[in-house]
Structure 1
């Protein structure tokens, strides 16, 4: 029985939005990666990256996975987009949760993140996303128990697709 759902995907795929909608529909707890990382480190993600670099951020994201897996179920959580670069964290996630890859077309991601304050994008959001997507997309596919396309869909529609695919009964 599915009691722990972790959403993975690129920045802009809707992990936080879909995660909150899904948790609300299921009446489960929701844990957001950025909030868990901030709780563990005392720093927002952007400051953590500035102070401790990529290695410090990745270490905190790995610890966030452990927090999610240790939290009492049922729950929904959003994982860091870059977690797929940590094979050990991916193995723990896959073994301890039902992992859902929220897949979006590159054009959708660019549209959603352009104009936002995301540290990985620099002056060329489309180029940065293209490079990240090329390296990460196959890893998301490998990690996920379920892949859900999110383009042109509402968060509630995506939540419904996850609930149906996972075979979770909902009381409403």
Structure 2
């Protein structure tokens, strides 16, 4: 690959313009404030460090990646808002992973080794590693007296959870109500003021504390708990998890009925868009919901019928059924 870094007068200026067209913008021109500038500074430091570790000069990295030395200098000094495509070229040229350059926090020194071992590990080894890291009970221990219900809005988690807890004589907890109690704000207010990222962090913290709370429990979760891998894995490891499954049309109808009774916080729009949105969410979440230990299809079943099936399922899991 040709050297583009100084073989002709004005080459740097020409290459800088070409790189800018390919996706580089001056930091001062980019939208955003200090957090973005800090990110670019850290990114530049990582590129510079990884290049030095590999004993690559800027000229060598330029030749290997096909990008100008000026662009690389700009990147390393935190002055350029790089496009993901160009950053991928830099990562490939240095033989590193793109995710290592843009990670939110510095990884521990042993992380590359752990990651490589996990990539080669089988399902049983991965399950054992997760168990050890999470501090979960070893396989073969007595069934946990903790049941969590998952599924989309309108699945019946709260209704069926209360019935199940009453029949078993257990405590019933709604995760969203627990988050509201701990923070003195409604879930809607948390989303509006702090955003989804903060809500997910509060959700994980509340779930972790519930998992450590003594005594049997039935937990009704929010529909999006599967969106955060660590939180969902904690749920799966600490609770006997049941997916309450229904058709999209049933989810919408149940939420509308709840809204009419003043139970649901928001009303479901009366439009075809709402149905398409529910279908899309369900399709994307189905592989995650399917990781539950058990599934109960509530379609075309009454609350009484589903409650009886759920109670029998849990009693069978606990070994207390007839």
Q: Give the structure-2-normalised TM-score.
A: 0.49
Structure 2 unaligned blocks of 5 or more: 1-142
Q: What secondary structure sits across from 1:102 in the alignment? A: strand
Is 1:87 matched up with 2:229?
Answer: yes
Secondary structure of 1:114's partner?
helix
Q: Does the CA contact (< 8 Å) of 2:149 and 2:220 recur in 1?
A: yes
The total of aligned residue pairs comes to 170
Any runs of at least 4 consecutive aligned residues in structure 1 with deviations exceeding 4 A, and if so which?
A: 117-123
Query: How far 1:51 sits from its partner (Å)?
Result: 0.8
Contact 2:148 2:218 in 1 (8 A): yes
1:114·1:125 contact (CA, 8 Å) conserved in 2? no
Contact 2:252 2:268 in 1 (8 A): no
Alpha carbon RMSD of aligned pairs, Å?
A: 2.2
Structure 1 residues 89 and 58: alpha-carbon distance in aligned structure 2, compared to 1, 3 A threshold? same
Equivalent residue for 2:311, pick from 146, 163, 167: 163
Unmatched tracts of structure 1, length 5 or more: none
The answer to whether residue 170 in structure 2 is matched with residue 28 in structure 1 is: yes
Report deviation, 1:20: 0.4
Distance 1:152 1:47 in 2: 35
Among 296, 301, 304, which residue is 1:153 paired with? 301
**Maintained 8 Å contact 1:3/1:75:** yes
Q: Deviations over 1:8-56 (max 9, x none)?
A: 0001101100100100111100000221110121111111111111112
- TM-score scaled by structure 1? 0.88
> Whose strand fraction is larger, Structure 1's or Structure 2's?
1
| Rg larger for | 2
Provide the residue aligned with 1:140 in structure 2: 289
Higher relative contact order (CA 8 A, sep 6+): 1
Q: Secondary structure at the match of 1:11?
A: coil
Matched, 1:97 2:239: yes
